[in-house]
Structure 1
């Protein structure tokens, strides 16, 4: 990254860290944008250059574009599900402990703030669209291919089923292996449908 990009990333992280700390200390509803800006040592207008709303401090997932890029970087010979899981692993294994703490704090807010939960559902649909596009790309089919979308839905469904019960402790390194084993099990159960 250029110096300018590093400074922007640092400011964005400072705003998010201040917001997450204040949300934890005094509650989401009681925290104002002005308080977040003050704690991050930026102006409210700077806050809004990075996050359109207070909700977006929690909702915007900075890792999605990195995951898409990491999936694209997997060798063409890698099966699509392996490429997705390895791309995700590549991104999450590079996170610092501080970044993990911030991500776990962000995820915890989804469990306790109803207005965030509602918008998170829309975000999940947006993530399905994004992931479906990169899966279709790897499969060499159009972006709106029904098979690519179904595969994406199955992958996201398995991830939600296996990762959400563990949100109390946060994402764990063995979660990728658990999801992979679950997908193998799904494939085995779907095999009879071919006949």
Structure 2
């Protein structure tokens, strides 16, 4: 029973986060990031400002927090260690993008619009662009940890860091193009195209 209670708590927490973030992104898009306060977001979501801060410690987190790192790490951990590093990372990035835009059984179009709105806010808001760099490093670390586990050999870690950075740079270029194209191109395919342009057609 304790496990069941823990699962229910986690589900409720995840749903509360989803609702708060959805209202935040909507308000930031409609009113502007700087013109919208955390109190505004709390009122729209029907919760207290303290509840917002419990789930999102900073205002920037309302836009930037996502499940991407976890999804990518899981896919890398499940991939064959015999594959080249760039192929393992690239496959995980493409696969996680397909999952994030696929809707998990919900409305794929709504998911895509939400991701597009978040991405546009990241690109257009100076405070978010600066914070986004922290997220980039966190995603790189998640990738390296998933690739190498507890590896401590400096050369092994360095090679994983370089491969992760190169793949993330290609993905970032694809994300910007996706936003400019208003999501008309499939995101996973666009990331695959960017990776192929950087590393060759057989990379994913």
Is residue 125 from structure 1 mapped to residue 150 from structure 2 by the alignment? Answer: no
Structure 1, unaligned runs of 5 or more: 188-195
Q: Which residue of 2 aligns with 1:142?
A: 152
In the TM superposition, residue 49 of structure 1 has moved relative to its aligned partner by 0.9
**Distance in 1, Cα, partners of 2:197 & 2:96:** 21
Greater mean deviation of Cα atoms: 173-182 or 9-18? 173-182
Alignment of 1:158-169 (within 5 A): 158-168=170-180, 169=182
Q: Name which of 21, 24, 28 aligns with 2:26.
A: 21
Aligned pairs for 1:169-188 within 5 A: 169-170=182-183, 172-185=187-200
1:11 matched residue in structure 2: 16
Q: CA RMSD in A?
A: 2.5
Deviation digits for residues 77-123 of structure 1, max 9, x if unmatched?
44332322232333332331222221111111012211111111222
Q: Which runs of 5+ in 2 are unaligned?
A: 1-5
Report matched runs for 1:64-75 at 5 Å: 64-75=69-80
Task: Give 1:172 deviation, angstroms.
Answer: 1.9
Alpha carbons of structure 1 residues 94 and 159: separation in structure 2 relative to 1, 3 Å: closer
Match of 2:123 in 1: 111
Alignment length, in residue pairs? Answer: 185
Instruction: State the distance in 1 between where 2:176 and 2:153 align.
Output: 28
What's the TM-score, normalizing by structure 1?
A: 0.82
RCO comparison, higher one (Cα < 8 Å, 6+): 2
Report deviation, 1:175. Answer: 1.6
**Distance in 2 separating the partners of 1:41 and 1:143:** 50
Question: In 2, Cα distance between the equivalents of 1:184 and 1:112?
Answer: 29
Shift >3 Å, 4+ stretches = 75-79
TM-score calculated relative to the size of structure 2:
0.79
Residue in 2 that maps onto 1:191 = none
Kindly indicate whether residue 48 of structure 2 is the aligned counterpart of residue 43 of structure 1.
yes
